[in-house]
Amino acid sequence: MPHTLPTNPSAYHGLSEKEALSQQTIYGLNQRPVTKQKTWVHRFFGIMAEPMMLLLLATAIVYFFIGDKLETIILLGSIIPIALMEFFQETKTDEAVRALDKMLVQFCSVYRDGVVKKLEIKYLVPGDLVYLTAGDKVPADGCLINSPGLMIDESMLTGESIAVIKSPLEKPENPIDENKLWQGTNVVQGEGQLFVTATGAHTTYGKLGGLLEKIIKTRTPLQLKIQRLVRGVAIAAVSIAFFVGLILTWQQGWAAGLLGGLTLAMSLIPEEFPVVFSVFLIMGVWRMTKQNALVREMAMVETLGSATIICTDKTGTLTEGSMAIKSIYYKDKLIDCTDITKHKTELINFIKTTLLSLEQVAIDPIEIEAQSFAHRLGIDTEKFYREHTLIDDLPFDAKTKMVHHLWKNINGTTTQYTAGAPEFILNQSKMNTKERALATAEYEKMAEQGLRVIGVAERPDHRGDKVIVADFKFVGLLAMSDPPRAGVKEAVATCQEAGIRVIMITGDNKLTAHSIAEAIGLKHNEEILTGADLTNLSPAAWQETVKRHDIFTRVQPEQKYQIVEALQALGEVVAMTGDGVNDAPALKKASIGIAMGQKGTEVARAAAGIVLTDDNFSTIVNAVREGRRIYENLRQAFVFLFSFHLPIVGLAILPLIFKQPLIIQKVGGELFCKAQLS
């Protein structure tokens, strides 16, 4: 639903309230179509439709018709608590997930009748003009107008952790990607106005949500096994009962044959299976909740235990999702920042210059880390900024890729401080050839390691009260990286020891992905593929590719889906983690979709079977461990149940062979024995 862009963006002042209301009648509210909540009746019937519950119910009905009220009451008595436990567990989990969604209600500043107003984002309509500044979430799809440029974190949509630069619309008849902003992304630097072109289900975010509805979820391995088991047991029970009934009819007449056959069938049907199965899964869900994993589908608990591959996002799951200063290049020297006690004076001098070149109100991850690093060095940043007086500034500009601040220092001198893309800083700095070559070589080395680098420069003894973008004095380079989360290295090792392959799928570049893979000890093929390498692959080529490669970078949303599909075609049980809107189709397709509760989107959580409340990869490993424990417990329980039913079958048939009366009577020991197994 592209809305016509204004022919003269600078003269556009937004809609009037009346126009907005009329637009709302046409386009509706700016929210994802509300998915129909399951009623308690639907939920209850969903639980009762499970093969195990049907088996239990069918057995109770047969007992009822042969007149055995005690067995009927006992069986119904075991169905109701199980169904209620499942029902309340599902309801509780859904409520927790809905509570996470409610936390996302946000407001924006919108121009209505020429005045800026605070408005809940759901009331935005196409044609609205929204004021955006650092820290805002883009509330709808649209184009940037009246701005020098913005830095946007699009990781929610593309998976790329490094912010991208957006420039204002110049040709309304031909907007390019660099002018477009998407709903759900975050402004990290700069300010500007957004002309809203699409809202609600018509945004990229909304469309992906709709796509999910079309993905058909396959049954989990456990559900398939149960289906086979129930079918097998039912066929065996009916065949044996029929055979025994036939012999008894021949020996003692039709009445004895019918009753004997039915009694045996009831003895053979393992009606305690659903009880054991449901109790184990409910206990698993409860334990996983305590370990920060909200399980939305009970069968996921066991499926997790069978996972053979974990496809994981990098940013925020394997890594902290925030920048940490790794090293600085200052006065022709590279200083490692892991130990701040060494070179403390140089570090303090450099970080003070950096603080004055960046925004005082920290929103961009770089600004946040710079201030945090300053605190670690013992600098009181608030006091430090109070000692300086801001004279002028030039916000982030998409063309120059720099920010500038002109400060009056404590000693009365005036200095301009600048930070930005190293190549631009180096270009504008006065340096001798040797200094420039050294700094350029260092910058290239940092970039090769996948580090994010910014250049810092100054203009001492600045004359005048305006920023000047020329003749800088180069100060140094600041290299940052998103470090691995604590415990991830051990968790990856645990997975690999347990035979679970970990695949990293990220929107970031090859270098960054490779450096993180090395840091966390992820076993990988050195040939790292990008999204471009994956275009136009045949299904067979997809399977070969996912078999041989472990790191995929710059991956498109549909390619994530194709990776999962190819792995599943190879017979793998795939757990897929994700947070962004782009991850939702793959989350839904995967055997186990795991969404991030903290930084994840509503769409991702809706698509996943498990929601992590702490966004930590280690939690996935704990959940897999729990899943395996439950799987093993279920396996053992079923072995015991079979070892119980086999003697019953034998003891039912043997007397017939030896022409003796039946051992198994209707109220025989069966129930008695089962009580201890359950």
Choice between 15 and 275, CB closer to other proteins: 275
- Spatial distance between the Cα atoms of 342 and 345, rounded to a whole number of angstroms: 9
Q: Please state whether beta strands 141-153 and 164-166 pair in parallel, antiparallel, or not at all (unpaired).
A: antiparallel
User: What is the per-residue burial (b if ≥16 Cβ within 10 Å, else e) of 26-44?
Assistant: ebebbbbeeeeeeeeeebb
User: What is the per-residue burial (b if ≥16 Cβ within 10 Å, else e) of 178-204?
Assistant: ebbbbbbbbbbbbbbbbbbbbbbbbbb
The distance of closest approach from Cβ of residue 650 to other proteins in the complex, given in angstroms and rounded to an integer, is: 4
CA dihedral 154, 160, 163, 168 (to 10 degrees): -50
Residue pair 561/585 in contact by the 8 Å Cβ criterion: yes
Task: Identify any residues that bridge with 327 across adjacent strands, giving them in sequence order.
Answer: 336, 479
Q: E strands within 579-619?
A: 592-596, 610-612
The CA-atom distances, in angstroms, between 347 and each of 387, 388, 440, 456 are 19, 20, 20, 13
Query: Residue 313 catalytic?
Result: yes
User: What is the per-residue burial (b if ≥16 Cβ within 10 Å, else e) of 90-127?
Assistant: beebeeebeebeeeeeeebbbbbeeeeeebebbbbbbb
Contacts of 398 (CB under 8 A, 6+ apart): 148, 149, 150, 165, 166, 167, 168, 178, 190
Contacts of 349 (CB under 8 A, 6+ apart): 330
Catalytic residue among 68, 128, 136, 313: 313
CA dihedral 76, 78, 79, 84 (to 10 degrees): 130
The CA-atom distances, in angstroms, between 514 and each of 207, 258, 447 are 32, 70, 13
Contact footprint for other proteins (CB under 8 A) = 639-640, 642-648, 650-651, 654-655, 658, 660-661, 663, 665, 667-669, 672-673, 675-677
- Spatial distance between the Cα atoms of 341 and 336, rounded to a whole number of angstroms: 11
- Spatial distance between the Cα atoms of 421 and 454, rounded to a whole number of angstroms: 5
The distance of closest approach from Cβ of residue 629 to other proteins in the complex, given in angstroms and rounded to an integer, is: 14
Segments in 429-475 forming alpha helices (H)? 433-448
3-state DSSP assignment of residue 427: helix
Q: Which two tokens stand for residue 17?
A: 């309230």
3-state DSSP assignment of residue 551: strand
3-state DSSP assignment of residue 504: strand
Residue pair 619/292 in contact by the 8 Å Cβ criterion: yes
Segments in 122-253 forming alpha helices (H)? 155-158, 204-214, 221-252
Among 614, 622, 577, 621, CA closest to 287: 622
Among 570, 614, 565, 571, CA closest to 585: 565
Length of the chain, please? 678
51-65 vs 254-268: helix axis angle to the nearest 10?
150
- For 198, the enclosing helix (H) or strand (E) is strand 186-198
Q: Which sequence positions are flagged as catalytic?
A: 313
